[in-house]
Amino acid sequence: MFVQGFGEVLTDIMTVNPALSDLPSASAILDTSNYTFQAVTFGKDADGFIQHSHAISSIQYVDGNSASGASSFDNGILNIINYGSAATSGASSYVVSATYNQFYSIYNSVPNDPSPLDTRLERGSTLSTNLSGHQYASALPNLGHYANPVLNSQLSSIWNKVGGFAPSDGGEYHFYDKNKVFSFSGTLSGQFNTEGLMDKNGYLTVSPSSVDDSANYDQGAFVASTVDFSPSAGSLMVKTRAKTADALSLVSFGSVKHLGIYCLDLRGMLASGLMPPYNWNALNNSRKYKLVAKSTILDNPLFHRDLNTVSGFKSVLAVVSVIFNLTLDFK
């Protein structure tokens, strides 16, 4: 669904003053990159931000003093409790729907219906309120989508609770059955963080390359043209990939139910004194974004199950890259 922000960007394109080209200090405002797709985010239902692997088992305090606030939760380990371990082929897979069933009386797992007036993926609060005892609780994000706290110096120690993307240096995870009996463990090293493709607020950059039909995800999401979807036909695709550890991390936190596409909030940046060019820097991203389109999903796109004795989590989903194709039909 296209949202109001898309119309606002079109208005900016059609009303920007071409005379700016004569002003060296402002001519960069006319650069076409300021008006193209620049980021993708992943989201889910609001209640899910305190469920799944966001839930806390143990608390570690600053200098062992509870009055100083929590320094970490679950010792920085991503704990995955599979309430569907008794399901068919579910013993070594994370059965997302089983968590819904386990907590159905207190957990509304349905995401917001999309609205053309949306400015974020999930309209309800996505603040992890169960982390309010953390020493830097004021820095917890409420963005409407998954953040990337690994890159936030105040929250990196609790990436395993804030969610939803694996660190570059290997985050430890422990997998438990429905009775919280330990099953297996491992480490996750996410592509998004390893390759510097996502900032601390969960914005996955879009490749600056021109429209392409090759499956190259090394520079982030990308705009694709195919035989069926091409500019000449009035359509395009925005493609992104959740590879191995990023897919495992996302499903552990409750999977993906929204995807958003963003342009730059050029008007907002200019008003705050930020002038182009707006170069991408995952560690220090000065860009501000505007939601222009979104897709809402009721099924689990990261669904997986065991294959006989082969673990669905660590041996199936771990080696399969999940591709998201977002089709934009301008007709």
At 275 the pLDDT is 95
Residues 6+ apart with CB under 8 A from 17: none
The total of structural domains in the chain comes to 1
**Is residue 46's pLDDT more than 90?**
yes
Structure tokens at 329: 């039909």
Q: How far apart are CA 171 and CA 245, in angstroms?
A: 9
52: left (phi over 0), alpha (psi -120 to 50) or beta: left
At 110 the pLDDT is 96
- Structure confidence by residue, pLDDT tens digits, 193-250: 999 999 999 999 999 876 766 667 888 999 988 777 888 888 889 999 998 999 999 9
Confidence band (pLDDT; 50, 70, 90) for 294? very high
Structure tokens at 326: 């977002």
pTM of the model: 0.95
Q: How far apart are CA 231 and CA 17, in angstroms?
A: 25
* Cβ–Cβ under 8 Å, residues 38 and 286: no
Mean pLDDT of 40-57: 97
**Which amino acid does the sequence have at 308?**
N
Q: How far apart are CA 62 and CA 143, in angstroms?
A: 27
Structure tokens at 119: 């400015």
Mean pLDDT of 121-139: 96
- Domain enclosing residue 189, as ranges: 4-329
* Cβ–Cβ under 8 Å, residues 161 and 131: yes
The percent of residues in the chain predicted with pLDDT above 90, rounded, is: 87
Structure tokens at 254: 């409750």
At 215 the pLDDT is 66
Mean pLDDT of 111-136: 96
Confidence band (pLDDT; 50, 70, 90) for 331? confident
Q: How far apart are CA 303 and CA 317, in angstroms?
A: 8
Q: 226 or 276: which carries more pLDDT confidence? A: 276
Question: Residue 190: what are its φ and ψ, rounded to 5°?
Answer: -80, 145
At 261 the pLDDT is 98
Three-class HEC string of the chain: CECHHHHHHHHHHHHCCHHHHHCCCCHHHHCHHHHCEEEEEEECCHHHHHCHHHCCCCEEEHHHCHHHCEEEEHHHCEEEECCCCCCCCCCCCCCHHHHHHHCCCCCCCCCCCCCCCCCCCCCCCCCCHHHCCECCHHHCCCCCCCCCHHHCCCCHHHHHHHCCCCCCCCEEEEEECCCCCEEEEEEECCHHHHCCCECCCCCEEECCCCCECCCCCCCCEEEECCCCCCHHHCEEEEEEEECCHHHHHHHHCCCCCEEEEEEECHHHHHHCCCCCCCCCCCCCCCCCEEEEEEEECCCCCCCCCCECCECHHHHHHHHCCEEEEEEEECC
Mean pLDDT of 124-139: 96
